[in-house]
């Protein structure tokens, strides 16, 4: 498994796979509250998340840094819960483009998600010695998949708010509460797994 396209499609498949919906939930919580007119803010947030997860993905795969896998799996829904709480508390400010704290959250939480991404990549690499090329291709695939997800989220948000005339502030609240509920169940399940 050393072909760029193979590792690239593995990265795309990993983040867009509904079995690993936790990363999608995070992107929905992070980006679902922004409108298509706020694309610059979205671009900054996605860049911050990318920087964060690229750093820890590389550090983990290169065996420079490691952390308990079950702890990482628990922390991922915690990042989703935190983002939802932030969105609910600041739902009026998000529309005004006040996203400085959201930027730092995306960067920091990206570090945690990168450790989650590394679990799959490390298991696929096995004892392979040349890991830089697969690491780059896998990470590039994750970015492509991430852009697909974010674009879908923003277009879906635009469709709902335009067709059903839902005010953006109410839509933000609904998205954040719905994602919070799913993430809370996920966090409880993974916390149980962590302590057992």
The structure tokens 């919580």 sit at 29
More confident position, 64 or 40: 64
CA distance between the termini of the chain: 35
Judged by average pLDDT, the poorest of 1-5, 79-83, 188-192 is 1-5
Contact between 178 and 83 (Cβ < 8 Å): no
- Listed by start position, the domains of the chain span 24-195
Q: What is the pLDDT of residues 111-152, one digit of tens each?
A: 999 999 999 899 999 878 788 999 999 999 999 999 999 999
- Tell me the per-residue pLDDT of 76-114, one tens digit each, with 9 for 90 and over: 999 999 999 998 988 776 555 456 778 899 999 999 999
Q: Residues 112, 56: contact at Cβ < 8 Å?
A: yes
pLDDT (0 to 100) of residue 40: 85
pTM summary value: 0.92
The pLDDT score that the predictor gives to residue 71 is 97
The token duo for 44 is 């900054």
Query: pLDDT digits over 160-183, tens only?
Result: 888 888 888 888 899 999 999 999
Is the pLDDT confidence value at 3 over 70?
A: yes
Which residues does 104 contact at the CB level (< 8 Å), separation at least 6?
Answer: 48
Confidence of residue 43 (pLDDT cuts 50, 70, 90): confident
User: What integer pLDDT is reported at residue 21 of this predicted model?
Assistant: 93
Q: State how far the Cα of 133 lies from the Cα of 65, in Å rounded to an integer.
A: 19
How many helices and strands in the chain, by DSSP H and E?
A: 8, 0
Distance CA 99, CA 78 (A): 20
Could you say which DSSP state residue 18 is in?
G
DSSP code, position 90: T
Instruction: Among 38-42, 120-124, 155-159, 190-194, name the one with the lowest average pLDDT.
Output: 38-42
* Tokens matching residue 31: 């980006």
């Amino acid at each position: 498994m050393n072909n760029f396209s193979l590792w690239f499609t593995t990265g795309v498949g990993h983040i867009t796979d509904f079995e690993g919906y936790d990363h999608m939930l995070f992107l929905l919580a992070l980006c679902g509250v922004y409108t298509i007119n706020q694309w610059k803010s979205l671009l900054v947030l996605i860049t911050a998340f990318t920087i964060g997860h690229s750093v820890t993905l590389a550090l983990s795969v290169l065996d420079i840094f490691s952390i308990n896998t079950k702890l990482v799996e628990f922390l991922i829904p915690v990042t989703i819960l935190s983002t939802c709480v932030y969105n609910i508390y600041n739902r009026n400010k998000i529309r005004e483009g006040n996203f400085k704290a959201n930027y730092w959250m995306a960067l920091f939480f990206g570090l945690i998600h990168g450790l989650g991404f590394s679990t799959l990549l490390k298991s696929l690499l096995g004892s392979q010695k040349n890991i830089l090329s697969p690491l780059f291709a896998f990470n590039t695939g994750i970015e492509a998949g991430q852009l697909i997800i974010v674009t879908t989220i923003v277009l879906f948000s635009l469709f709902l708010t335009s067709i059903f005339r839902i005010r953006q502030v109410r839509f933000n609240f609904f998205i954040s509460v719905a994602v919070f509920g799913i993430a809370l169940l996920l966090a409880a399940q993974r916390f149980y797994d962590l302590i057992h």
